[in-house]
Structure 1
């Protein structure tokens, strides 16, 4: 994928100068406001259920508030680890493991989730939504650990150390899972243009 495609897949949640990758947020509120939409997309990909995803993100946000006295640099991996654990808990509780292979569930009105907004050009917007839907479907088919590594490293742009802390594994495991995820995604998406 090109960097243009990567940019179309990520929709910034805020233009605040004190947020974003590589910058520490000014407050826990700013951090949560910045990470909220991305966390929801991550949870929705993992759970395939909009309401469960909202519950998981809300619960993770509430839980991370307990750690607001920690340095802001620790909030990102801590939040993603809490959210990941919450998603796994929901999956275990509700038996969603077999639903990974099913296609994304449409909303109640029959429309598919819209995660990309490429701007005013309708054809470009359609291509962006189609590309994101294709990527989301391919990512959802990955094994759980590969999906987590890909999402946190590539889409969330966490470094290897923060991803390892969020996933609760070694940095080498993150690299292995990411390599396997990229290989699987490349095989799944190579014929699609």
Structure 2
């Protein structure tokens, strides 16, 4: 059983990545924040008594379900109300977030040494983020879980509710699409 402190530490650790993942899906900052908060509340309410090692997979599954619920609510809302002007695709809502948050500025060998290097790095990261946003939803979800959340194939399959083969296919297609798009932009993946 996870202690209250373990649950709290887990939620603090996963908060930023979960927000970024939700933002990639819904492209609306407020909605992404609501989805993450709702997911955290559901995890604490319904699964806080589970072992700490089960929390990551449970949370990813809850986050996926909350995101799907958000899309269903949006679809119902838009079916009832013909005015779609309230629907925000979120264009630049992702500004200020770094896709490679794990990159460490504390390592002197990896520090950016000039304004030109910094501009190049910023342009590359922006290109990567734009291409990730453009991926089909299931490919994006599998890609982010596997390579950003660092979940293994079995955990990703369980969180997405699909087979391990489907996860591998989604990831392969996502990597192929990202590589092709980045090469077309002159960015070497």
1:11-160 → structure 2 map (5 Å cutoff): 27-65=6-44, 66-95=46-75, 105-107=91-93, 113-116=95-98, 119=105, 121=112, 123=115, 124-160=117-153
In the alignment, the residues of structure 2 paired with residue 162 and residue 105 of structure 1 have an alpha-carbon distance, to the nearest angstrom, of 31
- Does the residue aligned with 2:179 lie in a helix, a strand or coil? helix
In the alignment, the residues of structure 2 paired with residue 71 and residue 155 of structure 1 have an alpha-carbon distance, to the nearest angstrom, of 23
In structure 2, the residue matched to 1:4 is none
- Cα deviation, 1:83-142, whole Å, max 9, x if unaligned, reads 11111111222149xxxxx985235xxxx6111277585734443332222112111111
Q: Is the 8 A contact 1:115 1:132 kept in 2?
A: no
Q: Is the 8 A contact 2:39 2:66 kept in 1?
A: yes
Q: Is the 8 A contact 2:142 2:171 kept in 1?
A: yes
Gaps of 5+ in 1: 1-24, 97-101
Cα displacement (A) at 1:169: 0.7
The alignment's C-alpha RMSD in Å is: 2.4
In the alignment, the residues of structure 1 paired with residue 147 and residue 171 of structure 2 have an alpha-carbon distance, to the nearest angstrom, of 9
Output the TM-score relative to the length of structure 2.
0.76
Match of 1:166 among 159, 182, 185: 159
The structure whose residues are more often helix, as a share, is 2
- Cα deviation, 1:7-58, whole Å, max 9, x if unaligned, reads xxxxxxxxxxxxxxxxxx9600000000000000000111100000000000
1:1-16 → structure 2 map (5 Å cutoff): none
Output the TM-score relative to the length of structure 1.
0.75
In structure 1, the residue matched to 2:82 is none
- Does the residue aligned with 2:175 lie in a helix, a strand or coil? helix
- Does the residue aligned with 2:17 lie in a helix, a strand or coil? helix
